[in-house]
Amino acid sequence: MPKSTTFCNSFLDLILRGTAITDLAENDTSSPAGSVYLSLHTANPGVGGAQTTNEATYTGYARLAVNRTGTGFDAAAAGATANSALAQFAECTALSDTITHVAIGRDSAGAGLVLWAGALSASRSISAGIQPQFAAAALTVTEA
């Protein structure tokens, strides 16, 4: 049985914006996560993968914190949301990677839980001097 669009919107807002679902779910009140983390991948991290699965390794790379507020993601509508602002990773200072996927995960480092992952519309070659980035509204997260 499919989820309603209203629930999909509420679920996205709970996870990505920390907005409670009335009488059903709340954001952790004792120590809520303030951010989720974008990660870049050289292949699909897969449904069973961790944030480290096929993660980028270029020199200077680090996961990107995105606030779990309205400044991180837009309010969900029609079962989807997108990044509210420019998402800009650290500049590559050495080595290189070809990025094919991006993920949203729970942890700033280590294995971590992948929440959503998807393929880029085109791969991106990252080498010294390149700073990977996604314009506002370029990363869409959907629930169905």
Q: Which pLDDT tens digit goes with each residue over 64-118?
A: 999 999 899 999 999 999 999 999 999 999 999 999 999 999 999 999 999 999 9
- pTM across the whole model: 0.95
- % residues pLDDT > 70 (the chain): 100
Tell me the per-residue pLDDT of 17-63, one tens digit each, with 9 for 90 and over. Answer: 999 999 999 998 889 999 999 999 999 999 999 999 999 999 999 99
**Contacts (Cβ under 8 Å, ≥6 apart) of 39:** 45, 51, 55, 56, 63, 64, 102, 103, 104, 105
